[in-house]
Chains A and B, each alone.
Chain A
C-alpha cells in the first residue's frame, strides 16, 4: 500500500472578483487526503467548503480563479491541466456528488442511458458489459431490481433513490476519490442514515477516499475519520474526528459543538456564537473569528498560523484551547 496522500492541496487560494475588490473564498488552504480515508469538511454557509471541493475537481468557473497553490492528485499537479486533461480524470478517477440530485441528473434521459454515457466516455466498452457494471453499481447502493429501474426517468424516483442513482454513477468508473458536497442535506434522516451506512461500507470495502463536505457535525461523527473545520475561507482546525468533537482546540469548533441543541439541557438557553459570519470581501484584520470569539485578546490582531499541536492535530489560533478541559 502506498503512503503518499492521494490528494494533496497546498497553499490553495481561490478568488472571485467583486465590485468591492477580490473575495477570497479559499484562503491558503493545506489539506491532505490519504488513500482510503474519509475526510469531513465542516463549516457554515460562506465558509468556502463548497469552493474548496469544486477546486479539487477543477470546476471553478470564471470569473473565479485559483490565484495560488497546488492541487496534487496522485502525484500530479492538476491545477495546470487543460480542459481535456481534466476530462480524463473527472468522473473517472475523481467523482463528485452534489447536494441536489434533481439538478445533477438529466430530466429527459433514462437513468440507464445516463449511466452508460458516464461509462463509455471513459472506457471502450460494449453496451452489454456496461449494463452489467451498472447493475452491480446500483445493487451496491441499495437499489433492488436494477433492470426495471434502468428505463425509468429521474422524476420517477423519490429524492433518496435519486441521490442513490447519483452515487451509483459516481461509483461506475471505480474512482479513487469521491467528493461529496452536502449529499444528504436535502434528505430525511431515515434516508440520510441509509446513505451514510452505504457510503461507510463502500469506502471500507473498496478503499475509495471520500471527502464529505457538510455543515452537520452529527453526520461527520458518523462517517469521517478526520475532519477539517473551515471558517471564512480558512481551515481553523484539522485532526481526527473523535479528538476534535470530544475536545476541540479552536474556539469556533467549540462554539459550533456547543450550539447543537442536542448538547444542551432541554429548555435551557443554547450556547450561541455571538454575531454573524463576516463578509468574505471585508474580512477583519488578524484572526477572522476574533470579533465573535469569547477568548479574543490583543494577540488576535495578528493573523494566526496553523499550528501543529500534536502529530495529527492542527489548529489556527494564537492561544488554542486546552482540549478536554
Chain B
C-alpha cells in the first residue's frame, strides 16, 4: 500500500530559555544549564489513503508536537516526513503551496479564527492566495466549502463570535478543506465541544472521509473517540510510541502495561473503576526521562533489564507492535 504520510525516525527537541540569572551567569563564563526536552523521540509512523490513525497519550507525551510536525507547521530536528512518497520540505519557510495537501484543525475553534475577519473571507483567503480560485469567484467558492460542512449562505458575511462552538469548529473544518487536502491533522478537534455537539462533528469527520477519501491523524486524549473513528491507534508515552496496532486488536488485546493502565482508567457507563490505582505515581518530567524503558518507574512488571536497556518497538502480531522487554521477551518476530 502506498502511504500518504510516512515518518522516518522523526525527532524534535526543545531547549529551555535561559532565565535572567542564567544569562548573567553565562556572561561570567558559567556553563549554560539549559535543559533539553525531547518532545518527539524517534517516531516511525505511516498513514495510508483514507486511513484514520489515532494518537493517544497523556498531556506532555508529545502528541501535539508530532501532529504539528506532520502538518508541517513545526520543523523536525531529525528524520524525514514524506507526503505521497516525496520529502516534505520545511513548509514553514515555503510559500509555494507544496504543503497544502496536509491541513490541521485545532482544539479551540475560537482562537483559530480571526475575530475580525468575515467567515467567507477566512475560508477563501488561502485558496485565492494559492490560485485555486479567482478573487471574483471567491464568494461562490467559500459558499460551496461551507455547504460541505452543513452551513449556509448567511454564514458568509458573519463574524466568528456570532457562531456557537460547534458551528465555529465546522467553519474551521470548511477552511481546512477549502484547499483540497489529502490529509487532515485533528489535534483534540472535538475536545472542547459538548457531548451532543461532539457527536455531530465526529459524524461530519466520518462523512467527509468517505466523500473525499481523506486520511486523518486524529489526536485525542479521549480513547472512546479514538476507538470510534480510528483504523489504527498509536499510544505515546514521553515522546515515543509504546504500542501501535489496528484499533480493535489493540483496544481488546492491549499488551503494553501503560496501554493496559490507560484503558483501565477510562470512566465508562458500564464498568466500575477498580479500587486500586492502575498506574502508580505521576508522569516523570520529560526534561529528565527515566533511563532504559521510560515507563519502568510506573510499571508493575518492570525488571532489572527495563531499568537499563531501552526497548525497541517490536512486532507482537502482524498488525500490532509493542515497545516492552517483558512482552516481547521470548517471543519470535512473527515474520512481519
Contacts and interface: CB of A to CB of B under 8 A. Distances in A.
Interface of A: 44-45, 158-161, 188-194, 196-197, 201, 215-219, 221-222, 245, 255-257, 259-264, 266-267, 269-273, 276-277
Contact of A222 (B222, B272, B279): B272
B147 interface: no
Contacts of B96: none
B24 interface: no
Shortest Cβ-Cβ A-B pairs, 9 listed: A218-B267, A193-B265, A272-B199, A261-B228, A44-B194, A262-B224, A259-B199, A273-B196, A270-B199
Nearest to B261: A190
Nearest to B197: A276
Contact of A189 (B221, B227, B228, B229): B221
B74 interface: no
Nearest to B228: A261
Interface stretch (B84-92, B110-118, B123-131, B200-208): B200-208
Contacts of A270: 199, 202-203, 228
Interface of B: 58-59, 164-167, 194-200, 202-203, 206-207, 221-225, 227-229, 247-248, 261-262, 264-270, 272-273, 275, 277-279, 282-283
A262 B195 contact: no
B196 A197 contact: no
Contacts of A256: 195-196
B272 A262 contact: no
Contacts of A261: 198-199, 202, 222, 224-225, 227-229
Contact of A218 (B198, B207, B268): B268
Given A260-B224, A266-B248, A270-B228, A189 B265 contact: yes
B265 A271 contact: no
17 contacts: A188-B221, A189-B265, A190-B261, A192-B267, A193-B277, A194-B279, A221-B268, A221-B269, A222-B272, A256-B195, A261-B198, A261-B225, A266-B227, A266-B248, A272-B200, A276-B164, A276-B166
B259 to A, nearest CB: 12
A197 B262 CA distance: 15
B267 A196 contact: yes
Contacts of B229: 261, 266-267
Name, among A158, A161, A218, the residue most crowded by chain B CB atoms within 10 Å (CB to CB): A218
B269 A259 contact: no
Given A215-B194, A277-B194, A257 B269 contact: yes
A44 B283 CA distance: 30
A283 to B, nearest CB: 16
A266 B166 CA distance: 22
Contacts of A277: 164, 194
A193 B273 CA distance: 8
Contacts of B167: 276
B268 A188 contact: no
A186 to B, nearest CB: 9
A222 B200 contact: no
Given A44-B195, A270-B203, A190 B265 contact: yes
B24 to A, nearest CB: 22
B147 to A, nearest CB: 18
Contacts of A257: 269
A270 B283 CA distance: 33
B206 A260 contact: no
A194 B282 CA distance: 11
A19 to B, nearest CB: 15
A269 B203 contact: yes
B35 to A, nearest CB: 16
A95 to B, nearest CB: 23
A263 B223 CA distance: 13
Contacts of B207: 269
A45 B164 CA distance: 11
Given A188-B58, A215-B195, A273-B196, A221 B267 contact: yes
Given A264-B228, A267-B206, A276-B166, A192 B265 contact: yes
Contacts of A259: 195-196, 198-199
A257 B196 CA distance: 9
B110 to A, nearest CB: 13
Name, among A158, A190, A197, A217, the residue most crowded by chain B CB atoms within 10 Å (CB to CB): A190
A218 B195 CA distance: 12
A218 B270 CA distance: 9
Contacts of A260: 195, 199, 224, 269
Nearest to A187: B59
A188 to B, nearest CB: 4
B228 A267 contact: yes
Contacts of B262: 189-190
